Structure 1
Amino acid sequence: MKLIAWLLIFLIGGCNSSTKTTNVNEYTIEDILIKTEDGGIISGILARKKGDMTPRPTILQYTIYVRDTGRDLKTLKQAVDHGYNAVIAYTRGKRFSPGKILPYEHDATDSYTVIDWISKQQWCDGRIGMYGGSYNGFTQWAATKKLHPALKTIVPYVANRPGLGLPMENNVFINPNYEWSFYVGNNKYLDTIVGNDRQRFRNMQNRWWETGVAYNKLDSIDGTPNPLFQRWIQHPSFDEYWQNMAPYKEDFSKITIPVLSIDGYYNDSQNSGLYYIREHYKYNPNAEHYLIIGPYGHFGAQRNGAKEINGYSVDKDALIDTNKITYQWFDYIFKKGKKPTILKDKINYQVMGANQWRSASSINKMNNDHLKLYLTASPLGTFYSLKKSKPVTNNFLYQEVDFADRETSNNNYYPDPIISDEIDSSNGFNFISAPLEKPLLVNGSFIGQLYASSNKKDFDFGVTLYEVMPNGTYFHLSYIVGRASYANDITQRKLLTPNKIEEIPFTNTHLVSKQLQKGSRLLIHLNINKNPFSELNYGTGKEVTTETITDATSPLKIKWYTHSYVEIPVWIE
């Protein structure tokens, strides 16, 4: 009743904000409501020094995760302790906002409204900085879609880019965000019971896989409607729906504020986070955009890293204090403090296996050469040879994949564990290089060109890069999962012509830096993506989410041609 009365006073009053103040020790904590131009309401919390109205720079977090009795208050007080005022605002529909919860869709416009409101308060000196990870990283970039003059810097960690890293990756819908939609969408806070019921969703995934029903029927199998999932799968291309959520193409040319991004080699959505910096420099070559990246996962990059990730013990110097660096950055921007010492140049990366940090002026300058290696049909032990010279004769390797067979999965690409004793050789193809004559530094994102013909109009593929160490173990370096029909343009699907040799380029692989040992080999695993962890492309040319096991009347028959190649970025001393 108290909340309802408060909202009524706010709405009837016709003003653009409302506050409720509570003094907690040395802090003043205020609940705030901010009204948007289209009638929406944004709920938030303000923190400042008790009794102090001195205008200061304000640190803003914008999030869909409502943890207002614990973590959120802690982070607000931390900003105050560093000499700033602090606001955390929640996505429309969350906490005290009466609106509908629609992740991603309103954040670009609503964040502008929030920034505008903050900038006009007497306790704000007109300067605002944003920080945070994952969804909070996305909202910072959403806020730059139309850059408010008061927004002076952003510090996004492992930033999501809807439509690129989730809920689909390179136009392939993947499953982890299915339960996430319940976690953030079921109530005004977080539905931790449903959202964390991994067994429920694993059972749903397995039933879908075993029965072969259409991917768009997942919620029917689960027994609970999932309107957000259904909303997302209506957009399999990177179309205007996704483009409008964050900066796109020329939007980046207008982003002139300094940016500090933090990401990880083993962050699941790394291709989202690095999309922003690549596009930023593409459209604004003079951008002041820094990157810190190392052997971190999605959560490690937002905290202090981890001594071990997916079984790999990281180098000691890889462990950084993300929070400390963030406030060093804010002091650099707002208080003329020193730039964080880790920022030696625009790109700052930890070299796995070398226990050192390096820097470069751009992602492209991380390497000074490429190893171009061809996928040959020449047997080499139980694998095939990965050679520097292009085969004289254009041969091919033949693969057949029965989509009706649910006993066999293809493409075990996920880097967990990072180091393994063996590699799957039951399907797909493995191509291995000659031993390295001296240590080699792999630096950046590998790219490639596949040449293939098949009896279908489409297929999903996977390419994974490993270091085969001298002791015979496999170190997972990088990977890509992609859809052939989107290989040339993620915004528009172009179906393949059956039995025609098609060019399938790929570039959006995960960036990595690793010191390879003398005697190590490089290995490429090439496969068709067929497993329970993402939608299944049967190759009919129909919308993939509607295809069922009845579309698996004939196996995929594919020829991989031996003038296919990869280019691996390296640094040669």
Structure 2
Amino acid sequence: MKLSKLWYLLLVTGTLAIHACDSTPEAPRMSWTELDSLYYSAPGYDSLHPEQLAFALQKLAKERLDTYEAAALHPSDSSLSRVDSLYTLTEFYDGLAKVAMAASEYQKAQVQIEKYSNLYRNTVLISWGGANIHPYDRYAAAYEDSLQRQVPLSEAYQAQLELLAEEIPFTERHTLFYYLENSASIIQPHQNWQAQLTQLDTVDSLSGAQLDDLLAAYVTKQVYGSEEEFMVELVNQYRADHYEILDSLRIPVGDGLMLDAQVVIPKGVEGPVPTILEANPYVYDMDVPIFSYWGADRGFASITVFPRGVRLSDGEFAPFEKEAEDLPKAIDWISKQPWSDGQVAMYGGSYLGFSQWAAMKNPHPALKTIVPQVSVGIGIDYPYHNRVPMNYALRWINYVTNANLSDYDDFGNTPYWDSLYMTWYTSGASSRGLDTLDQAPDAIYQRWLDHPDYDSYWQDMVASTPEDFAAIDIPILTTTGFFDDDQMGALHYYGLHQRYGKPEVVDQHHLIIGPYDHGGGQSLQWNGEVGGIEIDQNAFINLITMVYDWCDYVMLDGPKPELLQDRVNHYVMQQGWQHLPSVAAITDSLTLYPEGFGKEEPGALTTTPANGFTMLKEDFAPDSLDKLTFDYLLHKPELLPYFLEEGLVWETAPLTEEVVLAGRPAFQLTFTPNVKDVDLKVYLMEVSPEGEMMKLSECLQRISYVQNREQRQLLEPGEAITVHLKNSFWISRKVKPGARLRVIVTVNSDPEWQKNYGSGKLVADETSADFVPIELIFDLERTQIRLPLAPTLE
């Protein structure tokens, strides 16, 4: 396992520093691969004499510990990515810790557990990841404590668990509690002790990996199995001591309807407190969600309000349609409760981000701030993305409307949905029939198809007019990511407020945008990578704690979060954070022009216009590009031939100096169509010297809506048209010398999107009978790509 120099030094200097001063001969060389391939004699098991097995396991564990220590000093040299290396390290620390515990080497175990936990926190494999490892650490500490104080191990372990509940960071505490109160059904089955014992009756030897599993199950049985009842009691007592939980609250919203709500109120805080509200349609069970405890841990009353038809709320859930009407009433009710000081904040991501902008349609004076994260731009990027509807919408509708709780089983059945999309795609049927292929016509899905324009149906759901944004008078923190599916929605609301808001209020609207996907833009980027691409460590910020820091700042006169040094805070990949007074501060750009056909081999991208024409065709037959969804950043070099076959490809020569991009690329395309409409997708790629691609930005656009998203304007076959595609994805990245920039233009023909045959009819009603092969003749002299460049700051 090839590790970076940093990780190698970490292992050599930190994992087993004890060897540095050991005068014994150097341990035999042992690679990490060999660690798993060693074999050990299987211990015998006699249920009448379990102590014999315990002794045998301890002996085996000591032998296994020696090999782990040798391997720690000599990592193998097989190649791994940084992310794989992180996984390898956590697995190594975890395995070594449990082997050490089985060997009764508890101090050594604690060293490895600390490294495991720090690796999770400092490399951001996940913000609260690794919470389940903490009881192992406390069990090891309890063993040492029981010897020193001469008390039973059980007593010492219970005391350690009580300390853990108080000391653990709040973002990890309730994940830990989840493990503690469900240990019998979650932790132990993964390392089933009984199954391991049964295995001993059938084998004479165990591989290193099998022995690790046996020892882990043995240790886990001690750690999680010895105090199951106490763990549940501890969790319940902690919650009783620290929170007042009010469930199944009823909030009137008119017409005799009541919304369901849960609130967690911190105990030990004087007087009423500010409230943080999440309006959440996603409900997996009837328990209090973890994020409600987070807010209470930070001193806020944390309330979740469920939309109509969700959980125990009255009525039927019509996604997006009633929030603008209901949320101001819910905020009014919250502000008048005895536990509320009259101040309400809202936060949350995706649909929950939309909900905040819906509340701003008719803002209530008690609402003091919103923190919309990765916000759905209803009618802007979902379920229409630049007026191209996504078939995923039907899957999502089922997810949130099949029952009053979210239907995760249906939503998570990706093979079913992929098959459904492909069946529809190859059938030639209209997109009207997609829901019938699933089960039956769906009224919500059909209603969405009935509104291809950005009309009043969409606009009435959310703050959308100049007057709506001019009326805003509260501070706002917006977060999104370069790789966030809803980036366009987040920037849509942000941009409208910048354009129409009061200057003194706009000055208090901050934007954070970095190398995050949809999840990372509302919490913490998982695994330190996106789509297999490594992300800079300095880019990682905890957007969970940022929410509470912001609410402290706005409602409790706390300090302003340090990152928010200006209104626009963007992370330039491979460079660092940059703070700008506005998006308008990005003024410089690099304009590139295509040269050559862009077929068979990439054409050139140069800084001077070139004459010529080239043709882009599409027949909607299934092709290799139909599965690009599975290659998130399209980074595999072998994809290039597929792009050349299905699209037009141009690229720069290797850069001789760095180019620092910041903002949303714009694509000016001039072409003569043979159809009345077409959906185009344009990619901007970075290409490494080795040929690996990284998707920097893309723009998917129904061309008949380029000029006006509220009214379709059909193309004239045979007449040239120039379109300006500006609603692309923001990217901030330093592209280093030696890399190339690549632009790819395709006709969108993806089973996950509606097919636009170009007949000029309502696209939802088009079938293969309306199809003629699409041919677009591009005028290269009038086609260009404008790349925004990051300003140079002193």
> TM-score surpassing 0.5?
yes
Matched, 1:283 2:491: no
Report the equivalent of 1:146. 362
1:349 pairs, out of 553, 562, 570, with 570
Query: How far 1:270 moved relative to its partner?
Result: 0.9
Instruction: Letter of the 2:595 partner, please give it.
Output: T
Matches for 1:8-157 after TM superposition, within 5 Å: 24-30=240-246, 31-50=248-267, 54-67=271-284, 69-70=286-287, 72-157=288-373
Per mean C-alpha deviation after superposition, the further-off stretch among 478-487 and 28-37 is: 28-37
For the residues of structure 2 that align with 1:51 and 1:468, how far apart are their CA atoms?
56
Matches for 1:270-349 after TM superposition, within 5 Å: 270-284=487-501, 285-286=503-504, 287=506, 288-306=508-526, 307-349=528-570
For the residues of structure 1 that align with 2:791 and 2:351, how far apart are their CA atoms?
37
Pick closer, same or farther for the CA change 1:211–1:557 going to 2, 3 Å: same
Pick closer, same or farther for the CA change 1:201–1:68 going to 2, 3 Å: closer
2:605 pairs, out of 378, 386, 394, with 386
For the residues of structure 2 that align with 1:41 and 1:299, how far apart are their CA atoms?
31
Matches for 1:545-564 after TM superposition, within 5 Å: 545-552=764-771, 554-562=772-780, 563-564=782-783
Query: How far 1:409 moved relative to its partner?
Result: 5.0
Query: Is the Cα contact below 8 Å between 1:53 and 1:123 reproduced in 2?
Result: no
Instruction: Letter of the 1:93 partner, please give it.
Output: G
Instruction: Letter of the 1:363 partner, please give it.
Output: V
Report the equivalent of 2:471. 254
Query: How far 1:24 moved relative to its partner?
Result: 3.7
For the residues of structure 1 that align with 2:569 and 2:242, how far apart are their CA atoms?
38
2:656 pairs, out of 431, 437, 441, with 437
Per mean C-alpha deviation after superposition, the further-off stretch among 373-382 and 440-449 is: 373-382
Matched, 1:526 2:742: no
**1:325-382 C-alpha deviation (Å, 9 max, x unpaired):** 111111111111111111111111112122x2111111232x3411111223367992
Query: How far 1:427 moved relative to its partner?
Result: 1.8
**1:524-547 C-alpha deviation (Å, 9 max, x unpaired):** 101111121200000000011111
Pick closer, same or farther for the CA change 1:172–1:508 going to 2, 3 Å: same
For the residues of structure 1 that align with 2:284 and 2:578, how far apart are their CA atoms?
37
For the residues of structure 1 that align with 2:769 and 2:542, how far apart are their CA atoms?
52
Query: Is the Cα contact below 8 Å between 1:152 and 1:257 reproduced in 2?
Result: yes
Question: Structure 2: which 5+ runs fail to align?
Answer: 1-238
Matched, 1:470 2:470: no
Report the equivalent of 2:762. 543
Report the equivalent of 1:180. 396
For the residues of structure 2 that align with 1:191 and 1:322, how far apart are their CA atoms?
27
**1:96-142 C-alpha deviation (Å, 9 max, x unpaired):** 12201101000011000000111122221111111111111110111
Report the equivalent of 1:209. 425
Query: Is the Cα contact below 8 Å between 2:244 and 2:266 reproduced in 1?
Result: yes
2:485 pairs, out of 268, 281, 303, with 268
For the residues of structure 1 that align with 2:634 and 2:732, how far apart are their CA atoms?
14
Query: How far 1:182 moved relative to its partner?
Result: 0.8
Query: Is the Cα contact below 8 Å between 1:478 and 1:510 reproduced in 2?
Result: yes
Query: Is the Cα contact below 8 Å between 2:599 and 2:647 reproduced in 1?
Result: no
Pick closer, same or farther for the CA change 1:379–1:463 going to 2, 3 Å: closer
Report the equivalent of 1:231. 447
For the residues of structure 1 that align with 2:583 and 2:656, how far apart are their CA atoms?
26
Report the equivalent of 1:4. none
Q: TM-score, normalised by structure 1?
A: 0.91
For the residues of structure 2 that align with 1:111 and 1:443, how far apart are their CA atoms?
36
Instruction: Letter of the 1:314 partner, please give it.
Output: I
For the residues of structure 1 that align with 2:482 and 2:289, how far apart are their CA atoms?
30
Instruction: Letter of the 2:517 partner, please give it.
Output: G
For the residues of structure 2 that align with 1:294 and 1:326, how far apart are their CA atoms?
16
For the residues of structure 2 that align with 1:476 and 1:49, how far apart are their CA atoms?
45
Query: Is the Cα contact below 8 Å between 2:263 and 2:303 reproduced in 1?
Result: yes
**1:13-72 C-alpha deviation (Å, 9 max, x unpaired):** xxxxxxxxxx944322112111113333211112213597822111111111124544x4
**Greater helix share, structure number:** 2
Query: Is the Cα contact below 8 Å between 2:391 and 2:753 reproduced in 1?
Result: yes
Q: How many residues align?
A: 544
Query: Is the Cα contact below 8 Å between 1:411 and 1:462 reproduced in 2?
Result: no
In our comparison, the structure showing a higher alpha carbon Rg is 2
Instruction: Letter of the 2:499 partner, please give it.
Output: K
Q: TM-score, normalised by structure 2?
A: 0.66
Query: Is the Cα contact below 8 Å between 2:628 and 2:634 reproduced in 1?
Result: no
For the residues of structure 1 that align with 2:280 and 2:529, how far apart are their CA atoms?
28
Identity %: 33
Pick closer, same or farther for the CA change 1:53–1:235 going to 2, 3 Å: farther
Per mean C-alpha deviation after superposition, the further-off stretch among 537-546 and 80-89 is: 80-89
Pick closer, same or farther for the CA change 1:449–1:185 going to 2, 3 Å: same
Query: Is the Cα contact below 8 Å between 1:410 and 1:427 reproduced in 2?
Result: no
